[in-house]
Amino acid sequence: MGMRIELNVWESDFFGWMIGTVHGITPEALLSLDDYRLLQARVSAQDISLQQNLQQLGFRLVEGEITFLLDLAKKTPYQTACQPATTQDLSELKALFGSAFPQSRFRAPWFSAEENQRFYQTWIENAVKGSFDDLCLIKRQNHQLQGGVSLRLLAENVAQIGLLAVAPEFRRTGVGQQLLKAAVDWALSQQAGHLKIVTQLHNLAAIQLYQQAGAKVHAIHYWFYR
């Protein structure tokens, strides 16, 4: 398999150092391995050969991720109380999402806690403003933010959840289910046939939530860093 190393422009600009994405392996590309402060490779769980080759080059397994697809063909709207977030919600949303994913692949020793926080704060701010993700839906109770979910419409009538987070004091109270139902409502309003959801393999609570809703495993990948 041939290897290409592509500069991840967005992440490099955001973090302020060179981040490359690896696709396969060739001798020519090996010459540029040391040009990047961080190299990352997303590899199918079934591609054992590539995983072994990457490890021989000094790559380390960082995180596993699982992709679910939820078939919307037989879904009807739930009509939840969730509403689109506005810029007035940003301070609360940035506080929530900035602390929601400390164990994601954007963690130490590859990224600092401050970089992790800033990454997800920027992501959710862009979602509220309709950049990258299309919108963020939020749930409140007595004016208190309980959680939020960002969404975007992909090609071929597939909607995707970007980020989903529940405030710590409202976890295990059904808020996650309400946010997922709101995501389904929005996807149906966009005439999407499927809802795509990606989460980390260690996030058992999220995996349980999506499977209870009827989502099926579509793919499993591993992230390797060097």
Instruction: Return the active site residues.
Output: 210
The continuous run of DSSP H or E covering 98 comes out as: helix 90-98
Report yes or no: 80 and 185 within 8 Å, Cβ to Cβ. yes
One-letter amino acid for residue 82 of the chain: C
Q: How many CB atoms lie within 10 A of CB 130?
A: 12
For residues 226 and 214, give the distance between their C-alpha atoms in angstroms, rounded to a whole number.
36
For 214: left if phi > 0, alpha if psi spans -120 to 50, otherwise beta; the answer is left
Nearest to 152 by CA among 133, 171, 131: 133
Phi, psi of 32, deg, nearest 5: -105, 10
Q: Distance between CA atoms of 61 and 65, rounded to whole angstroms?
A: 12
